Amino acid sequence: MEFSIKINEDGGVTSPKGFTANGIHCGIRKNKTKKDLMLIMSEKDCDAAAVFTKNLVCGAPVTVSRKNLENGKARAVICNSGIANTCNADGMEKAEAMCRLVTEYTGVPAEDVIVASTGVIGPSIDIEPIKNGMEELVAGLSADGSNAAAQAIMTTDTVKKELSVSFEIDSKTCTIGAIAKGSGMIHPNMATMLSFITTDADISPEMLKKALVWCVERTYNMLSVDGDTSTNDTVAVMANGLCGNKRITDENDENYLKFRRALLKICGYIVKMLAKDGEGATKLVICSVNGAADEETAKICAKSVIRSPLVKTAMFGADANCGRILCALGYSGAEIDVSKIDIDYISRKGRITVCQGGNVIEFSEEEAKAVLLEDEIEISVNLNSGEASAEAYGCDLTYDYVKINGDYRT
């Protein structure tokens, strides 16, 4: 199915019709130059869906948001950075209080609020700075507020992540916008860190959830920075229908497939931003697996390679040691014929084959190093056993990762 998807790198959650956003420093974080509270609002009620962490130790905001989204409706997202509101006795009380503050200052019912928090796990979050900042936060809501909102959810991120895509349904221009944060503690069992998505497409909550889960499995769920699944992972989407398309209610509808493809496109771009900005990372690393017997086999293999500490450190050192890749494929748990595996390294500097038929072959170490010194590298694996494929996304593992996480709280 061919149709055009336009990417807007300057877009974000306020690119779709009817959405406003803002981000401010309210005082949760000590550094006054760092924004720490954000709000996204729709001018009308939205159909909504989300995918959350599967970590049994989950943040109170995850529990509250799960409950609020049981009816498939939402109109606002509030999120703080600095404190994760997780593993503390009053977490539920504080998460629910954040929802009530949105009601007090905007009129949106608390049960229609998605709440999220990110930062240090353990400390109790102080509601007073949030309450004191609500008037400024709401007054500053604007159609240009995506940038501020994206900044307000950053923790160890070095760059903000935001984007939008547009496409046509029923001759109507529909837009999907997103912001995200995530740099460390990323090895999702469903999603990754925090990602908030908005769209003006008209789509039922059932179809929205179906599309989101399908896309998450192929993007966010294929991302690993350090092998640690966060306690607060949330990917949430709100659709207000202001695009004016005929409501999407059937997964066999061509318009559903168009929407899902556009959602996949923006999720894929966001995931690459998250991987490239991994804590201490110097390189984006993508493992593409082709020639698999089925998609699940391809996914298992790609994720095993991308999360291997030895593969990640080899990428940091530009060391073309493909034995580490073969090792990761071998312990992945996938049923594969290791005697058929081919491996290539690819970057802007070119492509070099390092393994054929499961055996390391002679290659120019000098050429391989040049390929691996680039800041975006693809590890191409061909299993030569079928037609299925998958990609996983990650980064190199550096000295700085240890430095960042050795004194994260201090």
DSSP string, 135-195: HHHHHT-BTT-HHHHHHHT-SS-SS-EEEEEEEEETTEEEEEEEEEE-SSS---SS--SEE
Active site residue 192: yes
Q: Of these residues, 14, 175, 192, 231, which one is catalytic?
A: 192
> For the chain, what's the residue count?
410
Helix (H, G, I), strand (E, B) or coil at 53: coil
Nearest C-alpha neighbor of 190 from the set 66, 45, 74: 66
Q: Are 181 and 118 in contact (CB under 8 A)?
A: yes
C-alpha distances (whole Å) from 111 to each of 2, 139, 209 are 39, 22, 18
- List strands edge to edge, sheet with 388-395: 359-360, 350-356, 342-347, 376-382, 284-292, 388-395
List, as own/partner pairs, every contact residues 100-105 make where C-beta atoms lie below 8 angstroms and the sequence separation is at least 24, other chains included.
Answer: 101/127, 101/130, 101/131, 101/134, 102/39, 102/76, 102/78, 102/134, 104/134, 105/134, 105/135, 105/137, 105/138
- Read off the tokens for 199: 């769209």
C-alpha distances (whole Å) from 102 to each of 79, 132, 153, 410 are 11, 12, 17, 31
Cα 198 to its chain centre, rounded Å, is: 14
CB contact set of 331 (below 8 Å; sequence gap of 6+) = 304
Q: Are 169 and 245 in contact (CB under 8 A)?
A: yes
Nearest C-alpha neighbor of 341 from the set 371, 306, 385, 302: 385
Tell me whether residue 293 is exposed, middle or buried, using C-beta atoms within 10 angstroms of its C-beta: 0 to 12, 13 to 18, 19 or more: middle
- Distance between start and end Cα atoms, the chain: 52
Q: Hey, CA dihedral for 89, 90, 93, 96, is it positive or negative?
A: negative
Task: Just list the catalytic residues.
Answer: 192
